[in-house]
Amino acid sequence: MANIPQKVVHKYLRHNKKFPHVWCPGCSNGTTLGSIIRAIAELNYDRDGITMVSGIGCSSRMPVYVDFNTLHTLHGRALPFATGIKMTKPEQKVIVITGDGDATAIGGNHFIHACRRNIDMTAIVLNNNIYGMTGGQYSPTTPTGDRATTSPYGNIDPVFDICELAMAAGATFVARTTAFHAIETQSIIKDALEHKGFSVVEVVSSCPVIYGRLNKKGDGPEMMKYMRDNSVPLKATEKMTPEQLEGKIVRGIFKRVEKQEYCEAYAGLVAKFQNKEEAKK
């Protein structure tokens, strides 16, 4: 027997089939997958009780690697699939893995409506500012002026702030972190999973092979360093001037409120009829 230290992730990965994974060297998706798994391990959730649903894109390849109930759906549609699962089996912990293009472009409508319903699931948006899987086209979060294969002269589109969007649409837990801050990501995801209602965690991610190369951001480690040096915790922003905040990634939990959860509201509706039936008897 080789002397390999047993790691937490080993229990949760599908070892027998799906490795090596599809992600490029230097991609931060694997780091975030580690954070997600460790958050689940800390919470000691039963693997049978977790359903992981994703859309299409680099990050959306994640479910195939984990040993849960897993569903890799259509581009942008992870949330409505997840809604059907959650309503049918409300006891399932539903985690949706999605990307910037998947969640806010093709799936933008589903995203805002899932937020509005406040249905109990956690959407983890791995925001790498580009469509990686199709080779590097600009997404709704590609910074204005940046280059992509479809913005060779610099992107003229304004960007979406995923957290602002989620908060405005009615999500009851909204947070941002970066892939570099793996321990913080783990802790925020833990909070998001324990939150009753629709929770959104934006994980700022790095795509050195395409976005990084097109915009001269350096290799994987360089982009990790960028996240470290150019992000600030929410608390620290209180003392910062707008000039100091310019271009900074703000990390932390922006919103955490209690509100009627969708499946519970529906269960209340069903209970009314059952009570009537019992009263009749």
Q: Which of 3, 4, 152, 273 binds other proteins (CB under 8 A)?
A: 273
Distance (Å, whole) CA 228 – CA 204: 11
For the chain, how far is it from start to end, CA to CA, in angstroms?
A: 66
DSSP for 129-183 reads SSBTTTT-B--TTSPTT--BTTBTT--------HHHHHHHHT-SEEEEEESS-HH
Binding-site size for other proteins (CB under 8 A) equals 40
Residue ranges in the chain assigned as alpha helix (H): 8-12, 29-43, 78-88, 100-101, 108-117, 162-169, 182-194, 213-214, 220-229, 242-245, 262-280
* Nearest approach, Cβ of residue 202 and other proteins (Å): 21
Nearer to other proteins, 19 or 164 (CB): 19
Nearer to other proteins, 65 or 211 (CB): 65
Q: Least distance to other proteins from the beta carbon of 18, Å?
A: 6
b/e burial code for range 83-110 (CB count within 10 A of at least 16 → b): bebbeeebebbbbbbbbbbbbbbbbbeb
Task: Give the x-and-dash track for 31-70 against other proteins (CB under 8 A).
Answer: ----------------xxx-x-x---------xx--xxxx
Q: Is the Cβ of residue 52 or residue 210 nearer to other proteins in the bound state? A: 52
**Does 196 interact with other proteins (rule: CB under 8 A)?**
no
73-112: contacts with other proteins (CB under 8 A): 73-74, 77, 79-85, 87-89, 91-92, 109-110
Could you tell me how far CA 90 lies from the centroid of its own chain? 20
CB of 206 to other proteins, least distance (A): 24
**Which parts of this chain interact with other proteins (CB under 8 A)?**
14, 17-18, 47-49, 51, 53, 63-64, 67-74, 77, 79-85, 87-89, 91-92, 109-110, 113, 266, 269-270, 272-274
